[in-house]
Structure 1
Amino acid sequence: MRVDNNTKWNGNYDVIVLGFGGAGGTAARFAADNGAKVLLVDAAPYGHEGGNTRYSAQHVAMAHDKKKITEYYHELAAPYAISKETMDTYLNGFVNMPQYFEKYLGIKPFIWSQDYKVGDHLANKAHLCEYPEYKGSDTFDFALVHNRDFDAGLWKAIRKEVLERKDKIDIWLNSKAENLLQAKGNNQVIGVIVERNHRKYYLHANNGVILATGGFENNAHMQQDYLHVTKLTPLGTLYNQGDGIRMAEEVGAKIWHMSNYESLGIVPSYVIAEKDGQRGRQIGGWKNMKSGSIFAVANDGTRFMREDVKFRHGHIYEHGDYVLPHAYDNAWIIFDQKQYQRFLEEKQTGKLKYQKLFEKMVKADSITILANKTNLPAENLENTVKEFNHFAENGKDIKFGRAPETLEKFDNGPFYAIKLAPAVLNTQGGPEHDKQARVLDTNNKAIPHLFSAGELGGMCVNRYQGGGNLAECLIFGKIAGERAANSEATHEDVKLVAAVPSINDLVNTNQERQIKLGPDQYLGSSETGIGGKIVVRVTYANDKIKQVEVIENHETEGIGAVAVKKLPQEIVSANSTNVDAVSGASTTTNALEEAVNNAIKKAKR
């Protein structure tokens, strides 16, 4: 959108960063360190900011040998063309990642490498490196904040760095960037329109705007247009709507890597179907989904994959390449009573980490009735069961090659089905940037004062290696922040009208002072949960925990929310915070226990 010198601005900053995930948080921090007054904007509400960085495994790609990692990444990209200069900058960051952690995060990283021992055994290098058959793969390792993962450890470290610069960084959450603003007569980006509390704000940027809004995994139209699928269930943030792509296109940016997306799943690239607007559940284990009298079928009632195959971010081997299974709209897991009993045993022993599994099951006395209930062709489904039973009897799956020990003949009923949904971890496409994180136009020229970092226009052109996106959040986030802060400032007259005050939604959401306390009641809080802050009100007297109320929490839907609901009563019943962690929610459990302990400490003063 073009604006002129008569524009009535509501705010003026040196650098505006759109998106508060790993890339945006990093960019804002380094822009501030280079003297810029920064505005950091995110569409998510408090406790849900963080993009996919918050939900990721926290593994950051690194390498020890530049030549080898270059060979590896060129093989990952083949046969497609890449920007060699930009890739070279990216891979230099891999080699320097341990120093980055120590210098900029103040953390000596835990290096998860081929020399890392799991019990008495060396870790399987193939588990770290997704394509160990490629040249140079043996130099690849992961850097972690500590010897734990899936706990938002890296995200918390980035968030902490941003909070420590609150005098230089304003933060607007639950605020949606709508349009980039360009100067009349040239292509320079000079600001952005942000909608906040149903009002539009025109915000000026003296030195630059950084796009770090992530991908388009929650935008159904973009999924259809770029990925040729009708619906994908997100495993990460719910707030990546493709806004950065749309805004970049409006100012003439060149777009790349739009057909790439990554996945995970309980079977390759599929998770259990959820309601619209809910995240999918990526939970480890699930042996009983892949072994026994059970298989997956597509719309036509026939099998379409090897259910037990190892996959590489959702990609499975097919005719010489690794590809994502087709995203079918009506896919199901089909199983019999024996398999149902195995799921029931998992639940009874506490090993089942998905509490709603049994609510998702469709039951029928015959395959024909089950087919009708699941909108599958009955004849095809019946033939699929017969075919699978034949494979099980002969110990050979001639259709997909599933391991013989995982094949078990179906009984005569009853039968069950669970709806599957194709899943998306993240997308890679967006505006192309150069080695200086500058967004390029369709003529390969840098658009003045516009930068990007992270998954928005990520470096992955073909096969994805885990940890690569987090690495580019750190690498290009730093470059974007520094470059934007040091760009030559604009000199147009900035007329502020109804100027907004300095706002920091990370700081201003602290509601503890407003919580009323009765006799023997004490507040406790913890910042260590996946969602950030947990605040509890504990009633404590005569060395007894009488009540635990969770006043504020921002934990993730599903597992984290289950822990928040379940644990308070268990703590009261045990009169102790030493209770078993909710399966799959150890981080939330630890945070809640810490908050209660902090409240008890106040009671004992």
Structure 2
Amino acid sequence: MEELLQSRRAFIKTAGVVLGGIAAASMVACAPAATAGNDTAASVNEIDWDEEYDVIVVGGGLAGMASAVTVATEGEGAKCLLLEKGPLETGNGNSAYAAGMVLWTKEKDDFAEYVRELRGAMDNTPDDVIDAFAEGIAENLDWLKSLPGYSDDEVTITEYFEEGTGESCYPEHSELPHAYSLGRIRWNSDNASGNTQVTLFMNSVKNSFSDSITHKTNAPATALVQDPETKEILGCVYTDGSSSKYAKATKGVIMCCGGFENNAQMKADYLSASWARRIAGACNDGDGITMCAKVGADMWHMNSCAGFWTSMSAIDSDICLMRTPKEEGITVGVNGRRFYMDWDKDVAEDWDTFAEGDLSTHVGSRHGHMQFGGEWPHLPMPEKTWFITDAEGYQSILDNKMMAIDFDPMDGWGYTADTIEGLAELIEVPADELVRTVSQWNECCANGEDVYFHRPASTLNPVEGAPYYALFCPPTMLNTDGGPRRSAKGEILDLEGQPIPHLYSSGEFGSIWSNMYQGAGNLGECLAFGRISARNCLGIA
């Protein structure tokens, strides 16, 4: 009997709860002490719950708010706890920093085919999950319109790509047969309400349901509570100030924890890029992935991300800018050579590219994915690269509207020298190689053709006027898409493909995107699967 009890306790410990000892296996090294009443619990039935709700949502970004609002509007009085680990009321992941555009469609079946085309040979997002996603995307506009505070006057709605307008949700992979099946919902930048993107709007909606949504910031979840016999998720443990709280969820827990952009070990394991710097959210460190792994969740899409650009960054800190205007020079590695198509401007930012037909021979970037052998994977990038430009190019960078910086980039961001050889010495690359690379580049510029990596002719600006500059440009990324495997109902699945009872997910936390990505797709997914998961959690789907 004692042997059986110890085995049972060991199982519960891996699930995030320890019985007959410390009641929660915290993932935070200096976490507050567990609730004293649970220290001697011999089974989950003896847990002394501090709080009880119908649904607990972990992660307060767009996916979490969409889930919580669905509980409030469709749960017939159901109560929801929304936990956010950081201080921002709109979440400390990526959605608050995004452009705020949301996918929608009038052509559900065609859009589902487009997502399948984006999946391609990376055949690990099942058709039924894609179909559920397409159904949710088709509902996005009507659902937003149904929420309190929505106004058509505050948004711009487009149904398909309109060349040259800059107003539509571009089909990021326009060469695919069903690319023109999508539209975009965009909040205007001059709204009187202050809701200039969907996350701000959803925050205002969430705040209008304070009677049914209890929202806590600076309250990270640290463990899931699982019944070791039924595998049912009973609730979670979170820290609130100086103590741990045991919160019971009678219907289920929805995990909306984002990705692992701040977890160097996970980036090394899954992306071969532990050094990639995150551009947006500060709190996505993969803790939700670890929590779900402890209760037996399977993982998918761990290699999928929006990356990598090489962007101007501080040499000795994690500060980085979104992008560097690469048309003003060339990017080299530590060997002093160019090594990839180093004009990583987003394809959709250059409307002229859409007139050029087959994008398998085109160049540019699609959310960090670069053309490589005619396809668009994300490329594992080296740890250290340098952007080389001259006096004219450097001034153009300073004047560029995307580089509105009020400091000297030479102060910890790069180096300058009067000669290429001198610059090579400062950045510790072989001088003969860097001289040869710059000479080859200038020859390409003179001839109007990049014979090495096929950059557009309009970006061929020579590097020939002293002083010369080297800007530090390591790889940067927006977000990861990996996490727990998800069903069409938003359920988190175990290693045998079975739902873990009462455990769901939404957003970038185990996203549906496995291969190529469509812009505005993550925010669209936050709304779509936020509703899907909440409805199935409530039992009303």
Fold equivalence (TM over 0.5):
yes
Give, in angstroms, the shift of residue 6 of structure 1. Answer: 2.1
- How much does 1:243 deviate? 1.4
SS in 1 for 2:537: helix
Q: Is the 8 A contact 2:385 2:472 kept in 1?
A: yes
The equivalent of 1:497 in structure 2 is: none
Amino acid at match of 2:199: W
Query: Which deviates the most, 314-323 or 409-418?
Result: 409-418
Count matched residues.
471
Q: Structure 1 residue 395: deviation in Å?
A: 2.6
CA spacing shift, 1:299–1:151, aligned 2, 3 Å:
farther
Tell me, yes or no, if the aligned pair for 1:58 and 1:151 is still in contact at 8 Å: no
For the pair 1:301 / 2:344, whether they are aligned, the reply is no
Q: Are 2:423 and 1:370 aligned?
A: yes
Verify: 1:180 aligned to 2:197, yes or no.
Answer: no
Aligned partner of residue 272 in structure 1, secondary structure: coil
Q: Please tell me whether the aligned partners of residues 62 and 97 of structure 1 are also in contact (alpha carbons under 8 angstroms).
A: yes
Q: Secondary structure at the match of 1:478?
A: helix
2:461 and 2:212 map into 1 onto residues whose CA distance is 62
Q: 2:120 aligns with which of 64, 73, 78?
A: 78
User: Cα 1:213–1:333, aligned 2, differ >3 Å: closer, same or farther?
Assistant: same
Aligned partner (choices 51, 68, 74) of residue 110 of structure 2:
68
- The answer to whether the Cα contact below 8 Å between 2:55 and 2:81 also exists between their aligned partners in 1 is yes
2:61 aligns with 21
Residue 198 of structure 1: how far off its partner (Å): 4.3
| Mapping of residues 211-230 of structure 1, within 5 Å | 211-230=255-274
Asked if the contact 1:15/1:209 (under 8 Å) is kept, the reply is yes
Distance 1:279 1:94, change over 3 A: farther
Distance 1:342 1:310 in 2: 20
Out of 166-175 and 149-158, give the one that drifted further: 149-158
Residue number in structure 2 paired with 1:137: 179
The question of whether the paired residues in 1 share the 8 Å contact of 2:315 and 2:414 is answered with no
Q: Distance in 1 between matches of 2:280 and 2:523?
A: 13
AA of the residue aligned to 1:25: M
Seen in structure 2, the aligned counterparts of structure 1 residues 110 and 310 have a Cα distance that, compared at 3 Å, is same
Match of 2:360 in 1: none
Change (3 A) 1:140 1:452: same
SS at match of 1:322: coil
> Structure 1's 409 and 168: CA in aligned 2 closer, same or farther, altered over 3 A?
closer
User: Deviation digits for residues 71-94 of structure 1, max 9, x if unmatched?
Assistant: 211111011222111211110122
* CA distance in 2 between partners of 1:269 and 1:401 (Å): 18
Distance in 1 separating the partners of 2:190 and 2:301: 31
2:455 aligns with 402
CA distance in 2, matches of 1:400, 1:340: 22
Q: In the alignment, residue 132 of structure 2 is paired with which amino acid?
A: T
CA offset digits 1:293-334 (Å, max 9, x no partner):
x21112221112333343111112121211223321110111
Q: Following the alignment from structure 1 to structure 2, what is the Cα–Cα distance between the partners of residues 278 and 378?
A: 28
- Higher deviation after alignment, 390-399 or 251-260: 390-399
SS for the counterpart of 2:45 is coil
User: Greater shift after overlay, 144-153 or 205-214?
Assistant: 144-153
Q: Which residue of 2 aligns with 1:8?
A: 48
Following the alignment from structure 2 to structure 1, what is the Cα–Cα distance between the partners of residues 220 and 315?
A: 24
SS of the aligned residue for 1:27 comes to helix
Query: In the aligned structure 2, how far is the partner of 1:18 from the partner of 1:239?
Result: 13
- Residue in 1 that maps onto 2:382: 328
2:368 to 314, 335, 339: 314
Q: Partner residue of 1:290? A: 326
Secondary structure in structure 2 of the residue aligned to 1:207: strand
Contact 1:69 / 1:137 at 8 angstroms: preserved in 2? yes
Scaled by the length of structure 1, the TM-score of the pair is 0.73
| CA drift at 1:275 | 6.8
Counterpart residue type for residue 368 of structure 2: G
Match of 1:337 in 2: 391
Q: Any conservation in 1 of the 2:235–2:249 contact (CA below 8 Å)?
A: yes
**Matching residue of 2:313:** 273
Report the CA distance shift for 1:448/1:373 in structure 2 as closer, same or farther (over 3 A). same
Report the residue type matching 1:28 in the other structure: A
Of residues 477, 484, 490, the one that matches 1:424 is 477
CA distance in 2 between partners of 1:476 and 1:351 (Å): 33
**Corresponding residue of 1:503:** none
Deviation of 1:124 after TM superposition, in Å, equals 8.4
The CA distance in 2 between the partners of 1:329 and 1:37, in whole Å, is 47
1:6-57: CA deviations, max 9, x gaps?
Answer: 2232222221110001111111122233022211111111356252111111
Instruction: List aligned pairs for 1:564-579, cutoff 5 A.
Output: none
In the TM superposition, residue 148 of structure 1 has moved relative to its aligned partner by 7.1
Normalised by the size of structure 2, how large is the TM-score? Answer: 0.81
**1:41 alignment partner AA:** L
Alignment counterpart, residue 96 of structure 2, candidates 15, 35, 54: 54
CA drift at 1:415: 1.6
Is contact 2:139–2:528 with CA below 8 Å preserved after alignment? no
Gaps in structure 1 of 5+ consecutive residues: 488-605
Residue in structure 2 matching 1:234, options 262, 270, 278: 278
SS in 2 for 1:391: helix
The Cα shift of 1:171 comes to 1.7
Change (3 A) 1:18 1:407: same
Cα distance in 1 for partners of 2:414, 2:317 equals 20
User: 2:248 is matched by which residue type in structure 1?
Assistant: H
2:158–2:167 contact (8 Å) kept in structure 1: no
Equivalent residue for 1:153, pick from 197, 201, 204: 197
**Could you tell me the percent identity over the aligned residues?**
29
Q: Which amino acid aligns with 1:291?
A: E
**What is the root-mean-square deviation in Å for CA atoms of aligned residues?**
2.5
Cα distance change on mapping 1:96 and 1:484 into 2, 3 Å = closer
Displacement after TM superposition at 1:147 (Å)? 6.9
Counterpart position of 1:110: 156
| Selected match of 2:79 from 27, 34, 37 | 37
Change (3 A) 1:227 1:101: same
Give distance in 2, aligned partners of 1:467 and 1:423. 19
- Which position in structure 2 is the counterpart of 1:571? none
**AA partner of residue 335 (structure 2):** D
CA contact (8 A) 2:392 2:465 kept: no
List aligned pairs for 1:500-511, cutoff 5 A: none
Distance (Å, rounded) in 1 between the aligned partners of 2:63 and 2:203:
11
Unaligned runs of 5+ residues in structure 2 are 1-15, 18-42, 344-362
Judged with a 3 Å threshold, the aligned counterparts in structure 2 of structure 1 residues 16 and 392 are, in CA distance, closer, same or farther, namely same
- The one-letter code matched in structure 1 to 2:147 is Y
Counterpart CA distance in 1 for 2:226 and 2:478 is 33
What do residues 97-130 of structure 1 show as CA deviations (whole Å, max 9, x unaligned)? 221221235343521344768xxx55587x7100
Cα shift at 1:145: 3.2
SS of 2:434's partner is helix
User: Structure 1 residue 252: deviation in Å?
Assistant: 0.5
> Is the CA contact 1:31–1:484 (under 8 Å) kept in the aligned structure 2?
no
What amino acid sits opposite 1:94 in the alignment?
I
SS in 2 for 1:373: helix
Match of 2:207 in 1: 163
Look up the match of 2:143. 100
Letter in 1 for 2:381: A
2:500 counterpart SS class: strand
Structure 1 counterpart of 2:288: 244
Find the aligned partners of 1:327 and 1:69 in 2 and give their Cα distance.
32
Cα distance change of structure 1 residues 468 and 403 upon mapping to structure 2, 3 Å threshold: closer
- What is the rounded CA distance, in whole Å, between the counterparts of 1:315 and 1:186 in structure 2? 42
| More strand per residue | 1
Moved over 3 A (4+): 104-109, 113-117, 121-125, 145-152, 274-280, 341-344
